[in-house]
């Protein structure tokens, strides 16, 4: 079977990381070759860049620097990990990809959308996901989830992006909706206010159908 590139997107706190792990567990059970990765990050170099982007101490990081750091992390990730895994016929499950840059840096920060797309098209060598699961949730619900996670699960503070004001996260959410409206064939849009099991049922059923489609 040829490799498949599957991405998970959504506002911070939407539950996408939980759902991508559930799909990874399902692939493991089915003995289907896969890798589970994330952005920013995914390689040693990309993880170093991630630590710069998300560190709350770096308040002086400019919007342009942020855009370029995300793209730099992605360039390394695509070249070193994603494309080789796809070439080996594996399913690549990736927590965030270019849609996130468009939503967070384009719509969220107000950077020119076409410039963000062009930078990331170059960084990714034109690579696009075969299927994307976009989990939608309000900024208020997302912030409540993140705070509970930080306090109880990981005992960490919110990262530099998560700490931004509700107005920013509302723009990000609207950005994801705009991306979905332009890519309805690729994106499976899911209400994140449902239970984890209900969300995964939607993803699992869609994934099975998508697998049949791409296998033909």
Ligand-binding annotation for 11, yes or no, is yes
Q: Is 15 left (phi over 0), alpha (psi -120 to 50) or beta?
A: left
The answer to the question of whether 192 is labelled as a binding residue is no
12 is in an annotated binding site: yes
Q: How many CA atoms lie within 13 A of 112 on its CB side?
A: 4
Is 17 labeled as ligand-binding? yes
Residue 14 assigned ligand-binding role: yes
Q: Which of 76, 106, 104 shows the shortest CA–CA distance to 9?
A: 104
First-to-last C-alpha distance (Å) of the chain:
9
Residue with tokens 């098209």: 121
CA distances from 155 to 16, 59, 81, 89, 152 (A): 20, 22, 30, 38, 6
Q: Is 87 marked within a binding site?
A: no
Is 139 marked within a binding site?
no
Determine whether the annotation assigns residue 10 to a binding site.
yes
Q: What share of the chain is helix, strand, coil (3-state, %, to 5)?
A: 60, 10, 30
The answer to whether the CB of 178 falls within 8 A of the CB of 136 is no
Residues belonging to the binding site are 10-17
Residues belonging to the binding site for ATP are 10-17
């Amino acid at each position: 079977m040829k490799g498949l590139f599957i991405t998970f997107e959504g506002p911070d706190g939407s539950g996408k990381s939980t759902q991508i792990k559930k799909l990874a567990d399902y692939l493991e059970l089915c003995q289907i070759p896969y890798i589970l990765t994330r952005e920013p990050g995914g390689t040693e170099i990309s993880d170093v860049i991630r630590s710069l982007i998300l560190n709350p101490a770096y308040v002086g990081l400019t919007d342009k620097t942020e855009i370029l750091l995300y793209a730099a992390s992605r360039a390394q990730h695509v070249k070193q990990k994603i494309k080789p895994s796809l070439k080996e016929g594996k399913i690549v499950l990736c927590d965030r990809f270019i849609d996130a840059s468009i939503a967070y840096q384009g719509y969220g920060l107000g950077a020119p959308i076409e410039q963000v797309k062009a930078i990331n098209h170059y960084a990714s060598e034109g690579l696009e996901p075969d299927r994307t699961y976009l989990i939608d949730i309000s900024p208020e619900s997302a912030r409540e989830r993140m705070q509970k996670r930080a306090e109880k699960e990981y005992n960490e503070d919110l990262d530099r992006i998560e700490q931004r004001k509700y107005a920013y996260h509302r723009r990000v959410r609207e950005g994801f909706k705009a991306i979905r409206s332009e890519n309805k064939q690729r994106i499976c849009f899911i209400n994140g206010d449902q239970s984890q099991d209900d969300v995964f049922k939607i993803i699992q059923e869609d994934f099975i159908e998508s697998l049949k489609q791409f296998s033909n």
